[in-house]
Structure formats: structure tokens, C-alpha cells
Amino acid sequence: MFAITFDMLVSDLEKYYGTPYHSAYTEIKKVLSDCGFYWIQGSVYVTEDQNLYVVTKAMNALDRIDWFRKSVRDIRAFEIKNWSDFTTMFKIEK
């Protein structure tokens, strides 16, 4: 299981992507989905594929997007060893 997380500079997104810049996130989601990743929250995407190739494929796809390269402040990929989802604990009425 791998994750990709990134941070975009809004001022650069407005400059290089245009308005509404929020649509850029929809495009990013589609690109990463096509590479086998699914959206978790914010700018965090996960794949359950154990092959590092999918991370490389996703990074190459994002690198081909000019406005993404010019607007990304930070981007990282990492392997998830232990994955625990505590959402249900917080959603149960007490």
C-alpha cells in the first residue's frame, strides 16, 4: 500500500491553471484514479497495489501536467505499513 500527498500553492494555481482553480483538484483526482489511486482526504491519495511501479506511473503522469509542476509546493510518496481507520469510532453515537 502506497500514498501520495501534495500541497499546492493557490496563488500559483490561479496563475498557471486559471479560475476556478478548484477544478484543478478534480483533474488531479482523475489522473491519480487512472493510475490506481483513490482519494482519502485533502490532497492524500492511496493505492492498495504493492508495486512501486504505480507510484512511478502516477508521478510521471503528474509531471506531464505543466500547471501542476508549476504550482506544486511539495509532493511526497510513501509506503503505508499499518493502516487503521478510526472514522467509525468517531461516528458512533454515544
Q: Give the pLDDT confidence score for residue 32 in this predicted structure.
A: 98
Taking only the tens place, the pLDDT of each residue in 62-81 is 999 999 999 999 999 999 98
**Model confidence pLDDT, tens digit, residues 13-49:** 999 999 999 999 999 999 999 999 999 999 999 999 9
Could you tell me the three cell numbers for 82? Answer: 499499518
For residue 67, what pLDDT is reported? 97
* pLDDT in the model for residue 41: 93
Spell out the domains of the chain, with CATH numbers in brackets: 2-91 (3.30.70.240)
The Cβ-side half-sphere exposure at 27, using a 13 Å CA radius, reads 15
CA angle 67, 69, 71 (to 5 degrees): 65
> Torsion angle of alpha carbons 72, 81, 46, 60, nearest 10°?
50
Task: Say how many residues make up the chain.
Answer: 94
User: CA–CA separation, 76 vs 27, rounded Å?
Assistant: 18
